[in-house]
Amino acid sequence: MSTVEQSTSISITTRDACVDFPIFDAKSRSLKKTVMGMVGGNISSEQKVPVIEALTGINLNLEHGARVGLVGHNGAGKSTLLRLLAGIYEPTRGQAEVRGRVAPVFDLGVGMDAEISGLENIIVRGLFLGMTRKQMEDRVDDIAEFTELGDFLRMPLRTYSTGMRIRLALGVVTSIDPEILLLDEGIGAVDAAFLEKSKKRLRELVDRAGLLVFASHSDEFLRDLCDTAIWMEHGRIREHGELEHVLAGYKNRV
Amino acid sequence: MIGTAAPPAKTWRRAVDDLVAGWQHRELWGHLGWQDIRQRYRRSVLGPIWITISMAVTAVSLGVLYAGLFHNDLSKQLPYILVGFIVWAFIAGCIAEGSDVFIANEGLIKHLPAPLSVHVYRLVWRQILFFAHNLIVYVVMLFIFPQHLGPLSLMAIPAFILLAANGAWVALLLGILTTRFRDLAPITQSIVQLLFFLTPIVWIYTDLLNSPNSSVAARARLVEFNPLLHFMEIIRAPMLGQPQHLRHWVVVGVITVVGWTVTMEALRRYRARVSYWV
């Protein structure tokens, strides 16, 4: 594989990118209204759909090696920005270009299936993260050891406690080799000893990644993993710069 | 997953890229398709064999019933109904599940930057696996009611490939439309039920065409306007060793081309919108 060639071209560029969500209420989402609207010549019905401007005027240029923290209040647009950077939402206005293999970790559990065993879930979750089956099979032992789940890995996931599920998910997520790693915090509900262990693994994961964007409310985590930061407010980038500087500004504001 | 260098969102290339990139994820949807099948019969002793069993039970009971109603030989009615049902299960599966292919995968769409086509490939693959399970009933039937199969029966293979290709565009197009207009999903379900009765599956098309009752024959001729008749015929005729007609192939060919053209246009325009709509 041409990983060397690829790693040099990892980048995320956005220019005046906006993400607007149309909110179709029950009426405007139905066929009837649109058809009737067309017949009646009421073309402006499109504008009656309320739009939530989740992100506005996002200009970013992230290169290989970037370690970006993402701070802001709830609803400031952190998660939406991560989805924009992942290519899940293509900008409604402006441009966004993502080069490189993206591993988005927004929700530890997505793609997990309660009815299949932990081992099978490791493979499936890995496939979802852009790994091949072969790569995941090579990592199963490592993941099994990390999660300390032992024979439970052969049991269906529905028999797991919440904490055990998080262990499994963290184990898989931290085993991959991402080019672009997008992390939304959601790491909790694990016991303290395990948290220490996963931090180390998380750090190693970040070291392997070409580019990191990490949304978190924890200064400690951010200082651990990032060197720059973006402060989101009302769907706009309020400040983008050196981590401590941005954090200080953000804290003052709060 | 693969992030591509992006030309503007609404170009043909992005639409084609979606299909190609989705195909490259076949390890993922291949696995998921299997998992869906096993999932459905999880914790049951027989597992996916239930697909085969329920098809056999349906075909045999309806075969016996309709052979009696139409005064046909069981050896004629049963194979006809069986093959009809197997093909119908595939068609109905693609249409019905296609109508909520993106809605059902909302979680995945919002969390993973995968091409839209991944979900469609997974759906069609799952239907192909169902079809394969049902084929076992067909093979067993061949031993009980042997058909006059010849080399031309192999035409069933390209016919099925065409059917699957059409299943893919139907699911993709319906998926996009129903995500935007949620009312279309229940409408689609009703139409599928209706189509079952309008398509020659339990009733034998040629018998009605040649009916001594002229008004029945006239009605039967209208079925030519049902596109599903042609899909049904290009597969059923070879599988039962019956004479095949070129016009069914022509109609299916035209539908394939027109369907994919419309779908690609919809994909080009609305591909990037689906993640906003779900």
Q: Please give the ipTM for the structure prediction.
A: 0.82
Neighbours of B127 (CB within 10 A): 24
Q: Which amino acid is at B138?
A: Y
Cβ neighbours of A180 in B, within 8 Å: 3
Give the helix ranges, DSSP H, for chain A.
Answer: 3-8, 31-39, 45-48, 78-86, 118-128, 133-147, 162-173, 192-208, 219-225, 243-253
Query: What number of C-beta contacts closer than 8 Å exist between A and B?
Result: 92
The three-point CA angle B187-A92-A80 to 5° equals 90
Number of Cα atoms under 13 Å in the Cβ half of residue B40 = 13
Residue A180 in contact with partner chain B when CB distance is under 8 A: yes
The pLDDT value given to residue A2: 38
Lowest mean pLDDT among A68-82, A104-118, B107-121, B149-163: A104-118
pLDDT of A101 > 70? The answer is yes
Percent of chain A whose predicted confidence (pLDDT) is above 70: 84
User: Are the Cβ atoms of B111 and A110 closer than 8 angstroms?
Assistant: yes
Which chain B residues are within 8 Å of A133, Cβ to Cβ?
27, 31
CB atoms near residue B258 (< 10 Å): 11
**B139 class by beta-carbon count within 10 Å (0-12 exposed, 13-18 middle, 19+ buried):** exposed
pTM for this model (two decimals): 0.88
- Return the closest-CA partner of residue A168 out of A140, A135, A204: A140
Q: Is residue B238 helix, strand or coil?
A: helix
Check pLDDT > 70 for residue B160: yes
Chain A residues with CB under 8 Å of B111 CB are 88, 104, 106-107, 110-111
Read off the pLDDT of each residue in A41-64 and give the average, rounded to a whole number.
74
Tell me how close the Cα of A253 comes to any Cα of chain B, in angstroms. Answer: 31
Q: How confident is the model at residue A12 (pLDDT cuts 50, 70, 90)?
A: very high
Torsions phi, psi of A13, nearest 5? Answer: -125, 130
